[in-house]
Chains A and B, each alone.
Chain A
Amino acid sequence: MAIKSVLKEELANSLRMKKRYEKELSKLLKGSINKRNIKGYEYYYLVYRENGKFKAEYKGKSISARELEKYSQAKELRSKYRKNLSQLKKQILYLKGALRGKAEV
């Protein structure tokens, strides 16, 4: 009985957390900064995907260290949040199964 109650609580937590991660992911800076070397000159591009298509937005010949850092942090967090979101989806499936009595508790 206590285990079922814990599982229910964990499921509610996971569902809520999934929404939070999705929201945080949507708030993160999109894309990452890509440096290209063309004929000996450096050019910076913001690269991202939109509707399944690759896009590259020209940012200039130089970019501030602060902006680079912002994109780099966002990239790192995006990767962590995606990993956590995937883990949460698995948890939710497992917990739903366990509560229906289909998975081993």
Chain B
Amino acid sequence: MEKQKYNLCLEVLRRMKKEGVLDKILLVGSWCVPLYEDYFKNKGCLPPLRTRDVEFLFPLPFNLERNTDLFELLKDLGFVLDYKGEQGYITFQHPDLILEFLVPARGKEPDKPVPIDALSINAQALRFMDALARNPIQMLFDDIKVNIPHPVDFALHKLLIAHRRKQKEKAEKDRGQAVALLRALNESAETETVRDVFQAMPKSWRKTIEQELLDLKEEKTLGLIKET
């Protein structure tokens, strides 16, 4: 089952790469986690829980040299198109994978789906997404280069959004991933990068992250990133 999911995801990435889409977007969410394990060269250092949701972040503005109908590109893999929630965000659904599209929230109507005309889809606008796209890194998903958020951005973003989650369990999962990543970053001597990113954040964001780490009794980690 996992192999089937992985192969389908790989084929989706391959087709998006061929159309020049993949180079302009970031893979975010739980599908990044195995790539972080590769980044730290430490399999099993992060919580393994991964859902079917594969999330792609589109930095704005998003343009392509040649427009592509993304659904038509993937339809023959067996995906069906669905509209999620009251707002009607487009998702591509398959028993093995659910593809979701995200953009950073902007403007006065942040809940409204944002059209991505170049791909004939719309995307869900979410807050703090800019923080994820700040400094992407490239990792190999099999033989395909994909952009993913820097692990520092991924970890701090998880702490920023955890308390906003409606589901307690999802918040717990966010916190668990964030702490595991921060520990891995500290162990791989990247504490300074974490500190720099943290210090450059707006005060209100820093306060949220500090509180999260205090609640998690991660005073040691907090001490490391606050140290000047």
Does A9 count as interface, using CB distance less than 8 angstroms?
A: yes
Within 8 A of A (CB), among B167-186: 167-170, 172-173, 176
Please report the total number of A residues contacting B with Cβ < 8 Å.
24
Please report the total number of B residues contacting A with Cβ < 8 Å.
21
Q: In whole angstroms, how far apart are the Cα atoms of A13 and B168 in the complex?
A: 19
CB closest residue in chain A, given B77: A80
A80 touches B98 (CB 8 A): no
Which residue in A3, A9, A10, A17 is a CB contact (below 8 Å) of B80? A17
Does B189 count as interface, using CB distance less than 8 angstroms?
A: no
B78 touches A81 (CB 8 A): yes
Q: Which residues of A contact B78 (CB under 8 A)?
A: 77, 80-81, 83-84
Within 8 A of A (CB), among B90-112: 93-96, 98
A6 touches B172 (CB 8 A): no
Q: In whole angstroms, how far apart are the Cα atoms of A73 and B176 in the complex?
A: 45
Does B63 count as interface, using CB distance less than 8 angstroms?
A: no
Does A43 count as interface, using CB distance less than 8 angstroms?
A: no
A14 touches B95 (CB 8 A): yes
A10 touches B52 (CB 8 A): yes
Pick 10 A–B contacts, CB within 8 A, sort by A.
Answer: A2-B169, A2-B176, A4-B169, A14-B95, A17-B93, A20-B93, A77-B75, A80-B76, A83-B78, A84-B94
